[in-house]
C-alpha cells in the first residue's frame, strides 16, 4: 500500500470516499467538496491482484485518515471499476473479484454507488479547469485557433489499454454523462497504409475489426506487427529488444525509440492520425462544441506525436463535406493530463 497526503489540511463542506479499481491498481481517496469544487485530501494505492475485495483497503484508508483527522468520515462513496455494472455491482474484467455496492453500503453504513470506470471520466470532466495546464493540454487547430467551449454537448474518447467513448449532455444546468460502446464501431481506412492495416487485422480476426484494435495500447502493438510483417523493420538492437518483448510491453518501447528512430516515429505519427480521424467521426456524431476530450494513458503518453505538426487535429478536421469541416474547426480539443480524473469523477458521481 502507498499512502499520499495530497491536501492534509484541506477544508470541505462534504467528504466522499472515491475509488478507481483497475486491473493493475486500486486507488482509494477521501475527496472533499465545497461549492462544486473537489480536492483530494488523502489517497491510497493498492496492487489490485493483492486484494480479494474492497472491504479491507477501505478500512485501512479510513483508519489512517481518522488517526490524522477525526473529521475524515465520508458521508457517501462511489467506486468506479473496469467492468460491466449491473444492480450496483461490477464484475471486473481482469480480476477474480468484483465490487459489490450493496454489501459495502451495509458494512460501512453509507450510500455506495458503483459505476463503470469510463463513466467516471465523464463525471470527472466537469470538475476540470480547461485553463489549468496541469489538468488540461489544449490542442490548437492548424490555423492557430483555440475555439472557446460552448454550453452544449461534450464528448470523450479514451485510448488506454482498450478504447472508451462517452459523451456529456447539457440540460441547461449541469452535464449528465453517459457511456457507450463506440470504441467498437468499424474502423474507416482512408489511404493505402490504413487499408493494408485493416486487411491485416481482418485476416487475424476473420472478420472486419472495430476501431479499438487500431486506436489503443493494443492498437500500437498491432501496428508494430503489421509494420513488421508487411512493411518490414530496420535492423538493430533496439528493434530486436522490441521483438523479444511481450506484446503488451512493446508500445512504451516504441514510444521511447521514436525519439531517435524514423520508423518508430512514423508508426506513432500514423497512430496519431488514426486517432484524429476517429475523433472526427465521434465529433460528427455528437457535435461536441462543448469540447472533445482525450483521456487514457496512451493519449497522455503520446502527446508529443498528437501535437506534432498538428497531425491529430489535421486528421480530425478531414471530411468529404465542407460544411462538416467548418463545424469540426469549431470544436475545442482537450487532452486530460490529470491522472486523478477518475477519483474526481467518482466523487462527483457520488454527490450527483
Rounded mean pLDDT of 206-223? 95
Architecture of domain 136-336: 3-Layer(aba) Sandwich (3.40)
Query: Which residues lie closer than 8 Å to 332 by C-beta, 6 or more apart?
Result: 130, 138, 146, 147, 148, 149, 289, 290, 291, 292
How would residue 306 be classed by pLDDT, with cut points 50, 70 and 90? very high
SS3 37: strand
Q: Looking at residues 77-93, what average pLDDT do you find?
A: 93
Q: Tell me: pLDDT of 348 over 90.
A: yes
For residue 160, the model assigns a pLDDT of 87
Q: Is the pLDDT of residue 82 over 90?
A: no
- φ, ψ of residue 38 to 5 degrees: the values are -115, 145
- pLDDT at res. 161: 82
Q: What is the pLDDT of residue 189?
A: 97
Place of cell 476517429: 278
pLDDT at 218 > cutoff 90: yes
**DSSP per-residue letters across 74-117:** -SEEEEEESS-EETTEE--SSSS--EEHHHHHHHHTSEEEEEEH
- How many CB atoms within 10 Å of residue 41? 22
- 301 — pLDDT class (breaks 50, 70, 90): very high
Residue-wise pLDDT for 321-342, tens only, equals: 999 999 999 999 999 999 899 9
Three cell numbers written together for 166: 462517452
CB 258 within 8 A of CB 301: no
Q: What is the pTM of this model?
A: 0.93
Question: pLDDT band at 181, cuts 50/70/90?
Answer: confident
pLDDT of res. 79:
98
Report d(CA 18, CA 27) in Å as an integer: 8
State how beta strands 111-116 and 76-81 pair. Answer: parallel
200 pLDDT above the threshold of 90: yes
| pLDDT in the model for residue 243 | 97
Cβ neighbours around 45 below 10 Å, total: 17
Grid coordinates given for 72 = 475524515
In this predicted model, which residue has the larger pLDDT, 180 or 229?
A: 229
pLDDT value, residue 24: 85
Question: What percent of the chain has a predicted confidence (pLDDT) above 70?
Answer: 100
* Number of CB atoms found within 10 A of residue 144's CB: 7
Domain with CATH 3.40.367.20 in the chain: 136-336
pLDDT tens digits along 122-154:
999 999 999 999 999 999 999 999 999 999 999
The pLDDT-based confidence of 94 (bands split at 50, 70, 90) is confident
Average model confidence (pLDDT) across the chain: 96
What is the structure's pLDDT at 246?
Answer: 96
Question: pLDDT tier at 162 (50, 70, 90 boundaries)?
Answer: confident
Query: Does domain 2-125+340-351 correspond to CATH entry 3.30.420.40?
Result: yes
| pLDDT band for position 23 (cuts 50, 70, 90) | confident
The three-state secondary structure class of 121 is: helix
Query: Percent of the chain beyond pLDDT 90?
Result: 93
Residues of the chain with CATH 3.30.420.40: 2-125+340-351
Q: Per-residue pLDDT for 83 more than 90?
A: no
Amino acid at each position: 500500500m502507498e499512502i499520499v497526503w495530497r491536501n492534509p489540511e484541506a477544508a470541505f463542506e462534504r467528504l466522499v470516499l472515491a475509488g478507481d479499481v483497475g486491473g493493475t491498481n486500486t486507488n482509494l481517496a477521501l475527496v472533499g467538496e465545497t461549492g462544486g469544487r473537489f480536492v483530494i485530501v488523502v489517497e491510497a494505492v493498492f496492487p489490485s491482484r493483492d486484494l480479494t475485495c474492497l472491504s479491507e483497503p477501505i478500512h485501512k484508508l479510513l483508519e489512517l485518515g481518522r488517526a490524522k483527522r477525526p473529521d475524515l468520515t465520508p458521508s457517501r462513496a462511489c467506486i468506479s471499476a473496469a467492468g460491466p455494472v449491473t444492480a450496483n455491482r461490477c464484475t471486473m474484467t481482469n480480476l477474480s473479484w468484483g465490487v459489490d455496492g450493496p454489501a459495502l453500503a451495509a458494512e460501512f453504513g453509507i450510500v455506495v454507488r458503483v459505476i463503470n470506470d469510463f463513466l467516471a471520466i465523464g463525471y470527472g470532466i466537469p470538475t476540470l479547469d480547461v485553463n489549468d495546464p496541469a489538468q488540461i493540454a489544449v490542442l490548437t487547430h492548424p490555423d492557430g485557433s483555440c475555439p472557446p467551449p460552448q454550453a452544449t454537448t461534450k464528448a470523450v474518447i479514451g485510448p488506454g489499454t482498450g478504447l472508451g467513448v462517452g459523451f456529456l449532455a447539457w440540460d441547461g444546468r449541469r452535464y449528465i454523462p453517459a457511456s457507450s460502446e463506440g470504441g467498437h464501431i468499424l474502423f474507416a481506412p482512408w489511404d493505402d497504409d490504413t487499408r493494408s492495416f485493416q486487411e491485416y487485422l481482418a485476416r487475424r480476426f476473420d472478420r472486419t475489426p472495430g476501431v479499438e484494435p487500431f486506436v489503443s495500447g493494443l492498437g500500437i502493438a498491432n501496428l508494430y506487427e503489421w509494420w513488421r510483417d508487411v512493411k518490414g523493420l530496420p535492423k538493430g538492437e533496439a528493434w530486436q529488444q522490441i521483438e523479444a518483448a511481450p506484446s503488451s510491453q512493446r508500445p512504451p518501447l516504441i514510444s521511447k525509440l521514436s525519439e531517435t528512430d524514423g520508423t518508430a516515429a512514423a508508426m506513432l505519427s500514423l497512430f496519431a492520425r488514426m486517432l484524429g480521424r476517429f475523433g472526427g467521426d465521434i465529433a460528427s456524431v455528437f457535435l461536441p462544441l462543448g469540447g472533445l476530450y482525450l483521456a487514457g494513458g496512451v493519449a497522455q503518453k503520446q502527446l508529443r506525436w498528437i501535437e506534432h505538426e498538428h497531425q491529430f487535429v489535421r486528421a480530425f478536421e478531414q471530411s468529404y463535406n465542407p460544411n462538416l469541416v467548418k463545424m469540426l474547426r469549431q470544436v475545442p480539443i482537450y487532452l486530460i493530463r490529470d491522472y486523478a480524473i477518475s477519483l474526481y469523477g467518482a466523487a462527483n458521481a457520488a454527490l450527483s
